[in-house]
Amino acid sequence: MPEPHFLVVRLGSLGDIVHTFPAVAALRESFPSARIVWLTHPRWAFLVESSRLATEVWAVETRAMSSLRETVRRVRQSTWVTAIDYQGLWKSAMLPFFGGVTRRIGFSSAAIREFGVPVLYTERVTTSKAHIAEQNGELSLRAGAQRDTAPASLQIPEEDQAAVFSHLQAQDLDRYIVLSPGGGWRSKCWPAERFGVLCRKLRESLQLRCVVNVGPGDDDLAAALIRASGDASPSVYRGNLGELMALLQGAACIVAGDTGPLHLAAALGTRTVALFGPTDPARNGPYRVGEAEGSEHKDIVLRVPGVRTTHKRDSQPHLSMLALSVDQVFDAVCRCIGAAR
């Protein structure tokens, strides 16, 4: 019997795609010769390709009608066994629907924030797992995978590894901590000034320098961090996605909020100190296949008790993020990397 053809939809963003890899890895493991076509935003095509899980990656710009029409046309030209929408939005669900895929699997309304989306699916999965990576895996199970999640390894281009190595060498950096102060919503961010104080404390107490990852729109956060770091001399690095992957893979650990770089670091095997506030780490925390109960040595998650989960996007740090002190985070880094104070 020929292997099936799967259409996989996960358009963005960085952390969400990373949390989709284990589910698609389970699909690939179960159907090693299957044709798996992954639809994603052009910005993340490289990331999806780096996983080597998809036979083909089709980039679609959902804000451009010409791109939508072309994608639907391409979908209609192929025969599919199943489409799986791991995103659960109107813009993702409509692609296999208008593409004429007969079997369309997605989340039930209980797990979807946009009202009415499940009407576009032929099969709606009510999830029972807490973490989004395992919820994604429940969709893969429905599609015929033998297990919900499987390990995925990311391939980093040699030229990106060389560029990062050259930068670190020029800065005389060997062992370093990555600080990532930014985030999609500022309400999920720990104050940049506290990152700066942490940077200074790591240099003074552990003789460890930090590398600051600066994402798009985060220049003000980087500037505030550097001002607060005193003479700790953090290195600021702005690179492409492949270079970020190389930087994260070589780090002793990363300190970040619930953002893409945190989840990418975990996927690359890097230790993490995860700072959580308004979002729930039980659902969105760092995820490692097979280590959900035993990964404390690699991932330390800080969140003050009693926080009410919210996805309201504010421009200032949530009060629960302000409740995390520099000393708490410093102690977590020491435990994470096995350093004595």
Taken as a whole, the chain contains a residue count of 341
Listed as ranges, residues in the chain with pLDDT below 70 are: 1-2, 291-297, 339-341
- 264: three-class secondary structure by DSSP: helix
The CA distance from 227 to 239, in Å, is 22
The CA distance from 319 to 120, in Å, is 38
How many beta carbons lie within 10 A of that of residue 152, not counting itself? 21
What is the pLDDT, as a whole number, of residue 294? 44
Question: Which pairing describes strands 104-107 and 82-85: parallel, antiparallel, or unpaired?
Answer: parallel
- Among 220, 233, 214, which residue's Cα sits nearest to residue 315? 220
**pTM for this prediction:** 0.95
What is the pLDDT, as a whole number, of residue 217? 86
- 46: three-class secondary structure by DSSP: helix
What is the pLDDT, as a whole number, of residue 293? 47
Quote the tokens at residue 120: 């576009």
